[in-house]
């Protein structure tokens, strides 16, 4: 990323960690803008996708699976419940905790969000042909798996 003073030094321009960070910032901005079209944020999408794929779960389990902090999880669940996209019910095994379930409206919203996210991925990966996209995804998956930082 050039500045009015010119490009950064060569040793910075070729650091994989720096390049990955720059790409991640761009990807997050593109996805965030796409989801904003539907009035949601990345946490909303992550929570709906997790519930749809894995089924009902406690807020604590959802937080661990998605990497969403406890305080952010409460706000996200509240927001999605107010929109009718998920339901909270007392856990029959432990009345102190709630079980969160995606609703039919939540599944429909998720389908719409999937389309927005797919378009955002295409926008982000626009300069890469399909084979390079698959290769990039494979490489990034291997790095994330190796370092244990994967929070789908």
Helix (H, G, I), strand (E, B) or coil at 149: coil
Classify residue 152: in a domain, yes or no.
no
Please list, residue by residue across 17-46, b when 16 or more beta carbons sit within 10 angstroms of its beta carbon and e when fewer do.
Answer: eeeeeeeeeeeeebbeebbeeeebbbbbbb
Classify residue 121: in a domain, yes or no.
yes
Classify residue 10: in a domain, yes or no.
no
pLDDT in tens, 34-76: 999 999 999 999 999 999 999 999 999 999 999 999 889 999 9
Number of domains into which the chain is organized? 1
Whole-prediction pTM: 0.86
Classify residue 20: in a domain, yes or no.
yes
Tokens 């807020």 appear where?
59
Classify residue 8: in a domain, yes or no.
no
Structural domain range at position 99: 15-131
Phi-psi map region of 76: left, alpha, beta (phi>0 left; psi -120 to 50 alpha): alpha
pLDDT in tens, 73-115: 999 999 999 999 999 999 888 888 889 999 999 999 999 999 9
Q: For the domain that residue 59 is a member of, what is the CATH number?
A: 1.10.10.10
- Find all residues with CB under 8 Å of 112, minimum gap 6, and list them: 38
């Amino acid at each position: 990323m050039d500045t009015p003073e010119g490009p950064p030094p060569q040793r910075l321009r070729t650091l994989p960690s720096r390049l990955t960070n720059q790409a991640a910032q761009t990807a997050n901005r593109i996805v965030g803008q796409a989801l904003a079209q539907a009035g949601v944020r990345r946490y909303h999408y992550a929570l709906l996708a997790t519930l749809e794929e894995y089924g009902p779960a406690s807020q604590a389990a959802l937080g661990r699976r998605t990497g969403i902090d406890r305080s952010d999880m409460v706000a996200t669940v509240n927001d999605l419940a107010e929109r009718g996209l998920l339901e909270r019910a007392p856990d029959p095994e432990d009345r102190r905790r709630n079980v969160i379930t995606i609703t039919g409206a939540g599944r429909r919203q998720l389908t719409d969000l999937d389309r927005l996210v797919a378009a955002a991925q295409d926008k982000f990966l626009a300069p890469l042909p399909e084979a390079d996209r698959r290769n990039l995804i494979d490489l990034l998956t291997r790095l994330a798996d190796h370092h244990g930082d994967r929070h789908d």
